[in-house]
Structure 1
């Protein structure tokens, strides 16, 4: 994207992210900013049906059993988790890439395979799985919070993605991270020996530490148990999803 400064790149990316959210899943009745604990809001939001609440509250082993017996279809499970993830995002700013339609297409393929063969693809058949932003998924961006990486689409999958899909998992969102995953600049001292003389150099090396999920592309992810606090990092986006009781 030539001739754009970093602010314009970030604004473009955020606009495209917002456009990727199904419009019918955007909520007008979000809690006030003063409400710090929002962990119970998904169940009272009106967006999730009672069946979808049951699905997203299920333990993973129970979820996989119902998927393997077709008691719950992969499409309805991915839809339920997608809705709950979008609710979580509206409350905590936890997502980066949203590709739920792609996930639903894969889920439909899994349902059809189970219907035709009576077998599951693998032990994670139909299980929705979120990815940290740095993990490559072909055709999807991974900015890691760098504005200069906006518009760079992965040409191939990470090994982890291939492994998860081979096991039957369904990928549907990516989650926010600190820029470079974990970075702040803390000056430190080190000693260099040169020509028989010891030189103590101050401020020329840096430790990389950043205990919260914030970057200049997607902003800060907050803690759903107390939105005045960070969700930590580098897996802050994932942590916020877990905090909103998404089990996969």
Structure 2
């Protein structure tokens, strides 16, 4: 039986399961941390920010929390350029943080954790030789689902676009790569981008981490969350 023989609900369920499997087991949020919150999350006001759920998950080390919380983009780029931080450690920190966020609010569509870490190590090797690819050398970056990234899907929340793997990058993605960025995840968007909330039939609704009964808007709701 091919995916085309399945109902659209079965295809969506399979896609979501595949996405979950890409999150390493050691990056999973313990079930007991979510049990105190009212469910279903999308129908009840829960605040993941003030309760410090990311920190309590213990997925990130103290250094990784520092990297993802205490640096501006400008500061990260500077630290990456002079070697105070490596792309490998910064990329790993942001991949882990994105994985936690996904489990809490459903903000991602595609994850490229392994590929991102491989590119980060490559960029670190270049920096050790005194070479910088560009002004964003080693910086992890997320992109919205509507942009094509070779080897992933760009469904924009449309079931009809599932199972269509991108064979090339969107121009913006190529520009980011030429500037030295590391593409690590794709983020959720409204179906066809034509709505003010990030909700679609493929990935569902992205929740607002300040109040899970609300959504973070669109079309950059996944990015915002």
CA distance in 1, matches of 2:131, 2:159: 44
- In the alignment, is residue 164 of structure 1 matched against residue 168 of structure 2? no
Match of 1:119 among 131, 150, 153: 131
The match for 2:48 is: 38
State the 1:2 CA deviation: 2.4
1:3 Cα offset (Å): 1.5
Q: Is the 8 A contact 1:30 1:91 kept in 2?
A: no
Deviation at 1:45, TM superposition (A): 2.1
2:77 to 46, 56, 64: 64
After superposition, residues 152-191 of structure 1 pair within 5 angstroms as: 152-182=164-194
1-side partners of 2:78 and 2:177: how far apart? 18
Is the CA contact 1:133–1:174 (under 8 Å) kept in the aligned structure 2? Answer: yes
Q: Please report how far the alpha carbon of residue 49 of structure 1 lies from its aligned counterpart in structure 2 after TM superposition.
A: 1.1
CA distance in 2, matches of 1:2, 1:227: 33
Tell me which stretches of 4 or more aligned residues in structure 1 moved more than 6 Å: none
The answer to which structure has the higher helix fraction is: 2
Q: Which has the higher strand share?
A: 1
Query: How many angstroms apart in 2 are the aligned matches of 1:5 and 1:111?
Result: 45
Give the root-mean-square deviation of aligned CA atoms.
1.2
Q: Cα deviations across residues 79-137 of structure 1 (Å, max 9, x unaligned)? A: 00011111111111100001110100110110000112x13211001111101001000
24-33 or 90-99: which moved more? 24-33
Q: Is the Cα–Cα contact under 8 Å of residues 156 and 192 in structure 2 kept in the other structure?
A: yes
Q: Conserved in 1, the CA contact under 8 Å of 2:28 and 2:59?
A: no
Provide the C-alpha distance between the structure 2 equivalents of 1:119 and 1:150, rounded to a whole number of angstroms: 39
For residue 44 of structure 1, report the CA deviation from its aligned partner. 2.7
Distance in 1, Cα, partners of 2:200 & 2:4: 21
Report the CA distance between 1:22 and its aligned residue: 1.3
Query: 1:1-248 to 2 correspondence within 5 Å?
Result: 1-28=3-30, 29-31=32-34, 32-34=36-38, 36-39=46-49, 40-57=52-69, 58-116=71-129, 118-182=130-194, 210-240=195-225
Q: Secondary structure at the match of 1:12?
A: helix
- Whether the 8 Å contact between 2:123 and 2:137 is mirrored in structure 1 is yes
Partner of 2:41: none
Which consecutive unaligned segments of at least 5 residues does structure 1 have?
183-209, 241-248
Return the TM-score normalized by structure 2: 0.91
**Which of 1 and 2 has greater Rg?**
1
Say how many residue pairs are matched: 212
Structure 2: give runs of 5+ residues left out of the alignment: 39-44
Structure 2 distance, partners of 1:129, 1:44, is 24
TM superposition score normalised by structure 1: 0.82
CA distance in 2, matches of 1:124, 1:234: 25
The answer as to whether partners of 1:36 and 1:228 remain within 8 angstroms in 2 is yes
Deviations 1:156-195 (A, max 9, x none): 100000000000000010001111012xxxxxxxxxxxxx
Q: SS of the residue aligned with 1:96?
A: strand
